[in-house]
Amino acid sequence: MEGEEQYLFIDFEFTMPEGKAKPEGFYPEIIEVGLVSVIGDRIYDQYSSFVAPVKFPVLTDRCKKFLNITQEQVEKGITFQELVFWLSEYDKLQSSIVVTWGNMDMKVLRQNCQQAGLEFPLNGKKVDLSMEYKRFFGDQNQTGLWKAVKEYGSEGTGKHHRALDDALTTYNIFKLVEQDKKYMKNHQSTTIGDRIDLSQVLNKLAL
């Protein structure tokens, strides 16, 4: 394990307002974390927990329905301070690359840390896999996580919008994209000479 890079695949679920009009002072708070630590192409560890929100502790009906999450689950969750502690512990474990699907997870984590007066716990390089996917396949629009999996002819892991399942699904897509990158790198494109026997063409032109 020494000297090997660690990939941290992370997914958060957040609070959301009831409608388009946000209550005064509202910002999304992390209420569930899913993390997959991968070292040397193998899953080293997994972590999953609900997180109790502070600013708006009562979940909206929209949030509970969309995420299939209950008020009781988040109330029994860890504190945001504990979440930051666990993230920093994983970050210290090994030189890390943090992989998420989209940029919202890191944006919300930064904002939540600022609101709580805590230091941002993840120091490694950040990779937005949805942008990597978009660049690699030339899609005009960013693709949703589980849509991307289906485009690969695969299925997502577990349930969509459950943090650990989404983190595992992100890891699975990462592996597929990396395999395709290696194939494209090793696959030399054929030249016109490989496809056409130039001697025959020249002979015909000489006639």
What are the catalytic residues? Answer: 13, 161
At 22, which amino acid appears? K
Task: Answer yes or no: are the C-beta atoms of 31 and 13 closer than 8 Å.
Answer: yes
Q: DSSP secondary structure string, 95-154?
A: -EEEEESSSHHHHHHHHHHHHHT------SEEEEHHHHHHHHHT-SSPPPHHHHHHHTT-
